[in-house]
Amino acid sequence: MLRFGTDGVRGRAYEELLPDDIVRLAQAAAEVLNPSGPVVIGRDTRESSPDFAAALAAGFSVVGVPTIDLGVAPTPAVAWAAARNRSPGAMVSASHNPWHDNGVKLFGPEGLKLDNESQAALESTLDDSDRRTVTALGAPPRTSDGSELLQAYQDAVADTVDFDGRGLSVVVDAAHGSATTVVPGPLQAHGVNVTVINSTPSGRNINYRCGSTRPETVAKAVRRQKADLGLTFDGDADRVLAVDHTGELVDGDQIIAICAADRQQQGRLPGNTVVVTVMTNLGFHQAMAQKGIDVVTTPVGDRHVWAALQDGDWALGGEQSGHVIFPALATTGDGLVTALQLLDVVARRGLLLRDLAAEAMTKMPQVLHNVAIDPDSIDEQRLSAAAAAAQQELGTGGRVLVRPSGTEPVIRIMVEAETTEVAESIAAEVAKAIGT
């Protein structure tokens, strides 16, 4: 039974998520979204992704909906192409998860991720309908080639900035994923000297010891090459983190803080407001308050960030994980757009990324723990009690957040405190309380 999490449907390929499931999902999506043109399909580099992309095409085809195949492409490229064509899009990816997982992210004809109402309608349609399986369909249909559309996306992203990056040296970690098809072109278009690492996908090495979940990998390369900074994408390239010339991490909170302060100085921050999630570091809130920038906080997930940005007509928001949204430039988190926006500030200001990050905010020590758990056994009352007890122990000197993941069978524990040692101790106590 397919259910939508924080970011689409996701599960272990060929066990929790089957090609038949994907075929049924495509047919249900065609019924709920009622495409007026070809559905754009993209995929990441997982071993199962070609099968799942073919299953999507087959499912749409059987109900008379044509498709366009972008091939290996970033999730935001699918969103961009959907908006350009005014027709839905579907991305086969499990983002930062290991290679053996996979999933599908769906976009409406505006290039936006589906809202809760649309997702509920899809789930209901799937539950109530008897749909044809991939076995009954036979060979997958041929779809239109989308390579020119993917190139048009790269050109459009490159055009979102106008800076002279000559003399700027950058190492890019493509995570053996979707970024391999779009870097280094848009960066080189601005004169940036780019070295790309981890750009040889095998089907099983996506995110493996690389990418945004392992920023130490790009940090080592930056130090070795004496580069100015590093950029590291996740598996489907909808998020990016950075490291400075010393290899120090510059996370999504810091990237947003840098861009917010820069836009405020230029008069390009409507309402002097940014949107972030509950995971955002307390140091970010303190820094924005000092700069006179208001902060709106949403639940985790870039869908929630986007909704708040639209409601307030604001220009910048995102997540600590590196999902950053510039609504005037993209309809979803876009790692490549974010990378270029950050490079634009670095080049224009003529400062080291390390100095820009220090100027933008001071991070409060924060630790994140994951506790593996059966999703069906989650006791919300127990989670709340564990978080409340920990918060009482911290008092006003920190913050505790305990929540089920929307993408993995784990409970995420985030603790901020005046020292890392205190944060680690509190997080361990909470993990023990909910893991026994």
Catalytically annotated residues = 95
The 3-state secondary structure of the chain reads: CCCCECCEEEEEECCCECHHHHHHHHHHHHHHHCCCCCEEEEECCCCCHHHHHHHHHHHHHHCCCCEEEEEECCHHHHHHHHHHHCCCEEEECCCCCCCCEEEEEEECCCCCECCHHHHHHHHHHHHHCCCCCHHHHCCCCCCEECHHHHHHHHHHHHCCCCCCCCCCEEEEECCCCHHHHCCCHHHHCCCCEEEEECCCCCCCCCCCCCCCCCCHHHHHHHHHHCCCEEEEECCCCCCEEEECCCCCEECHHHHHHHHHHHHHHHCCCHHHEEEEECCCCHHHHHHHHHHCCEEEEECCCHHHHHHHHHHHCCCCEECCCCCEECCCCCCCCCHHHHHHHHHHHHHHHCCCHHHHHHHHCCCCCEEEEEEECCHHHCCHHHHHHHHHHHHHHHHHHCEEEEEECCCCCEEEEEEECCCHHHHHHHHHHHHHHHHC
Query: For the chain, how many residues are written?
Result: 436
Q: Which two tokens stand for residue 261?
A: 């302060």
105 and 7 Cβ atoms separated by less than 8 Å: yes
Q: Which two tokens stand for residue 380?
A: 């919300």
CA atoms within 13 A on the CB side of 24: 22
157: nearest Cα among 74, 85, 225, 216: 74
